[in-house]
Amino acid sequence: EAQVTQNPRYLITVTGKKLTVTCSQNMNHEYMSWYRQDPGLGLRQIYYSMNVEVTDKGDVPEGYKVSRKEKRNFPLILESPSPNQTSLYFCASSLHSAGTEAFFGQGTRLTVV
């Protein structure tokens, strides 16, 4: 089954404790991206990757890192999480670019206390 898999689905952590949210897709898509969803703000793009070893900042990259060592994986890293990073996070992948249909994971709800 074609899908985008995020882990974990839920996470509660403390300020400053490094964490990684994993994202994997099995569709051989070139383009992958991370969003955060906050009430009233819709989805805002954090980082995106056009292909392996190519990553770029989105609209809200501060406090986040990503890597794209393999085509299928695109982990999101919070080196020192803060409470303002409490949010619902979505990973998505598309065949070639942001203009082709995006397939989203089920989301990761992160709470930083």
Q: By the criterion CB under 8 A, which residues form the site for other proteins? A: 4, 33, 35, 40-45, 48, 50, 56, 58-59, 90, 92, 97-99, 101-107
> Closer CB to other proteins, residue 59 or residue 79?
59
Closest contact distance (angstroms) between CB of 35 and other proteins is 8
Closest to other proteins by CB, 77 or 88: 88
Nearer to other proteins (CB atom), residue 8 or residue 16: 8
Q: Considering the complex, what minimum distance in angstroms separates the CB of residue 102 from other proteins?
A: 7
Instruction: Confirm if 82 and 15 have CB atoms less than 8 A apart.
Output: yes
Q: How far is the CB of 98 from other proteins (least distance, A)?
A: 5
Task: Name residues whose C-beta falls within 8 Å of residue 4's C-beta, 6 or more positions apart in sequence.
Answer: 23, 24, 25, 91, 92, 93, 103, 104, 105
Gap between the Cα atoms of 33 and 106, Å rounded: 14
Distance in Å, CB of 22 to other proteins, minimum: 15
Buried b (16+ CB within 10 A) or exposed e, 71-108: bbebbbebeebeeebbbebbbbbbeeeeeeebbebebb
Query: Between residues 5 and 15, which has the closer beta carbon with respect to other proteins?
Result: 5
